[in-house]
Amino acid sequence: MRDHLRRWYALMRVLMVTWGWRSHFYPLAPLGWALQAAGHQVRVAGQPAQGAAIVAAGLPAVPVGPDLDFAEVFAGQVGRVAGPAGSPAAGAAVATAVPPNIDAVRPAVAAAVTPDGGVVRFADAMLDELLAFGRHYRPDLVVYEPLNLAGSLVAAALGVPDVRLLWGPDAGSQLTLDEDLVLGPRAARLGVDGVRVTGAVSLDPCPAPMQVPLARPSLPMRFVPYNGPAVVPDWLRKPAARPRVCVTWGTMMAGLGLTDLVDASRVVHALAGLDIEVVVALEASQHATLGELPANVRLARSPLALHLVLPTCQALVHQGGAGTTMTGLACGVPQLVLPQVSDQHFNADRLTVTGAGTQLAGDDADPDTIRDQVTQLLDDDRWRAAAQEMRRRSEERPTPADLVPALCRLARTGAPTALGDPDPTQGHPDPTQGHPDPTQGHPDPIQGHPDPTRPLQGHPGPAQGDPGPTQPVAVSPTGGTR
């Protein structure tokens, strides 16, 4: 009777699944808040080590499986020598205005999704306990981030709709998981036939032309930045006396043990002498690498969330992680990306196409060039105008709260067609067309390309009654990466 009443009043139990690293969880948090605020039950399952980050975000954590050492599991699988799209190795010149190209990230990601790859090992570690909790909790909907094999497998085993929430540009959109070696044995272990790792629907945070074509169906969703708990320091409450530039390397490089690839001191000292304030936001483990700080540098020694500091900045310099890239985009800040590994090059390519930023990699990222490029970002208003245009497009997308009614309908019917919205892949301009190479003079800010997606409006509540169980649909498995 209780389940019947819960469905009658459209209250859902939602199971969110994350894995591996806290920055994987952060993009899930705003949707979790929206669902919880609408009265739905939310649980977030992940490895025990992720519990603190989940609880700090105000969501209930469910530890499943043992902890695995992220750096050890992914050793050799993150593309230490991956170069920008189309180039054979790091250190080659950057091709900045390129069509969507998966070649740069395919080897690194493909290694991670082999039977002994890091993605598969994390899934295996949590699969049994996640399924046991799912059978106890009986969710109406399962939500997970890219390449979360455990989330998609358990959703199939429970017979409930699943949603893939993208971090940013879908770098894994053209990758195919091996049915026989990867998906098949694990699906058989759970007693299911067909598994889709793209979800019944994908939630896409990227305004055009940031995204590549997605496996359909997909729904647009605004990227709401969340970078973990933080305190607003005194200095951030006052107007900056000089233009402010933020330098950060996210959280994952340190988590992977790849701080040797990140010469943050080179960036910081390259900006010494400019009439700017440089705010450095690094993991504590990287502070010692900076050496003596120039006079114009402010080191954030306590956690500093990017979504708090970037609205006060005129430029952002970073490694190209999806979370950092999308936070900069949402805040309308021109970006210089210095990609190091794996899909960071892919994210940098997609950002460059928008005109809201540029990139330097390998030997191109010498101190003089870094200084010159940051100076251009600050002095040429066209960079900021393009970044502000991308921010506007981002803000036009439906918020996570706007999508809750559609997710209720999906949970009730199991069919993406019940979402009642036009296919957002229709009408998008081709992101590979009409964008001059930024190395040949910066293009004018994006004009005349309104985002064809529209917020969900006027949708009736979920249908009444208690539908029968839904069945997963077998499709060609693809995934995404961070």
Instruction: Check residue 458 and give its pLDDT.
Output: 35
Q: Please name the helix (run of DSSP H) or strand (run of DSSP E) that holds residue 354, with its range, or none.
A: helix 344-354
Of 1, 320, 14, nearest in space to 169 by CA = 320
100/103 Cα distance (integer angstroms): 9
In the predicted model, what is the mean pLDDT of residues 78-89? 35
Sorted by where each starts, the structural domains of the chain and their CATH numbers stand as 2-77+117-222+398-421 (3.40.50.2000), 234-392 (3.40.50.2000)
Position 14 confidence tier, pLDDT thresholds 50, 70, 90: very high
Q: DSSP label at 181?
A: I
Question: Which range has highest mean pLDDT (229-238, 307-316, 457-466)?
Answer: 307-316
Binning pLDDT at 50, 70 and 90, where does residue 439 land? Answer: very low
Confidence of residue 176 (pLDDT cuts 50, 70, 90): low
| 225-284 confidence digits (pLDDT tens) | 999 998 899 999 999 999 999 999 866 555 455 555 556 778 888 999 899 999 998 876
Average pLDDT over residues 308-326: 95
- Asked if pLDDT for residue 99 goes beyond 80, the answer is no
Which of 145, 144, 140, 132 is closest to 161 using CA atoms?
140
Looking at residue 84, what is its pLDDT? 36
Q: Strand pairing partners for 142?
A: 15, 162
β-pair type (162-165, 201-204): parallel
- Alpha carbon dihedral 257, 226, 167, 430, in 10-degree steps, equals -130
